[in-house]
């Protein structure tokens, strides 16, 4: 299964051009949904106004090299490794899900646009990337869903409680899971079962990429910008107009250390 390009096998039923148009359509839905989400929530307007306000209260004028250094450090730490979550299970689950999804999507695009036409020869590297990426997404996503969600881990709500904010993670898990099962049944010669999971794979993609306005999908674009702005504000002293940390020892006693912090 891991060595097979499922999109190449699918090309005997669905033309390669149709698969390519489907991916382009998914991309357009993400762009459209993000624009509508931005207009509705006014996130970009808030970021620009906040940055302009912070610039006026800055205590240090950052040079271009310093600004570049802060931005690169933010990308390498806060964005690439989600360091704001600290060391622990939540960070590991997020990293697995994030990089698994990136690999899954990247390999899908490459195999559909380059290696889905009849007669093409797919390098074994890309099917491995596609399957491993989907597995990583499932491991990180299901770990987060069943054990690490705030409302489950800290508020004792059941794991099967679903709200609108869960649309993104559930659609992503449905996409990765149905994709893996589709590939497994396809490689095993189970034609009818394979078609069923292909249908589920398509539907979950439509929900994932078409539901940007109603899900947290667009947060993937907002969070990097917010992290960069926050660190620039720390560097120039504006601190988003918040007071600096108190220059005094903590007076909480030992009680705060009696249990691992998990109340948010």
The neighbour count for residue 175, using CB atoms within 10 Å, is 27
The neighbour count for residue 19, using CB atoms within 10 Å, is 19
Mean pLDDT confidence for 161-174: 87
Pick left, alpha or beta for residue 247 (phi over 0 → left; psi -120 to 50 → alpha; otherwise beta): beta
Domain boundaries of the chain, sorted by first residue: 6-62+87-219
Model pLDDT for residues 182-208, shown as the tens digit of each residue: 999 998 888 889 999 999 999 999 999
Q: Kindly indicate the confidence band of residue 141, based on its pLDDT and cuts at 50, 70 and 90.
A: very high
Model pLDDT for residues 31-54, shown as the tens digit of each residue: 998 888 778 777 667 677 776 776
pLDDT value of residue 23:
95
Residue 27 corresponds to which tokens in the numbers above?
């991309």
Residue 183 corresponds to which tokens in the numbers above?
């590939």
30 pLDDT above the threshold of 70 = yes
CA 195 vs CA 104, 164, 254: distances in Å:
20, 29, 59
- Between helix 125-143 and helix 89-114 the angle, nearest 10°, is 150
pLDDT value of residue 142:
92
Say whether pTM exceeds 0.85.
no
- The answer to whether residues 145 and 169 touch, using CB atoms and an 8 Å cutoff, is yes
pLDDT value of residue 246:
67
Q: For residues 227 and 232, what is the distance between their CA atoms, to the nearest angstrom?
A: 9
Tell me what the pLDDT averaged over the chain comes to: 83
């Amino acid at each position: 299964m891991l060595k097979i390009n499922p999109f190449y096998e699918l090309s005997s039923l669905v033309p390669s051009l149709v698969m390519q148009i489907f991916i382009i359509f998914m991309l357009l839905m993400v762009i459209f949904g993000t624009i509508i989400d931005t207009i509705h929530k006014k996130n970009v307007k808030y970021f620009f106004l906040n940055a302009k306000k912070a610039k006026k209260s800055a205590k240090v004028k950052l040079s271009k090299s310093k600004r570049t250094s802060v931005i690169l450090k933010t990308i390498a730490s806060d964005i690439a490794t989600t360091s704001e979550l600290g060391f622990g299970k939540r960070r590991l689950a997020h990293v697995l899900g994030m990089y698994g999804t990136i690999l899954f999507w990247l390999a899908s695009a490459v195999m559909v646009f380059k290696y889905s036409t009849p007669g093409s020869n797919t390098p074994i590297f890309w099917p491995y990337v596609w399957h491993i990426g989907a597995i990583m997404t499932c491991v990180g996503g299901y770990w987060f869903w069943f054990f690490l969600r705030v409302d489950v881990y800290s508020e004792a709500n059941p794991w099967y409680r679903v709200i609108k904010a869960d649309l993104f993670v559930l659609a992503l898990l449905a996409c990765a899971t149905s994709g893996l099962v589709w590939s497994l049944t396809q490689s095993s010669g189970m034609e009818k079962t394979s078609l069923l999971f292909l249908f589920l794979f398509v539907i979950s993609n439509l929900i994932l990429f078409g539901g940007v306005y109603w899900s947290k999908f667009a947060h993937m674009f907002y969070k990097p910008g917010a992290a960069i702005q926050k660190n620039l504000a720390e560097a120039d002293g504006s601190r988003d107009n918040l007071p600096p940390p108190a220059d005094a020892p903590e007076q909480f006693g030992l009680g705060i250390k009696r249990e691992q912090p998990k109340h948010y």
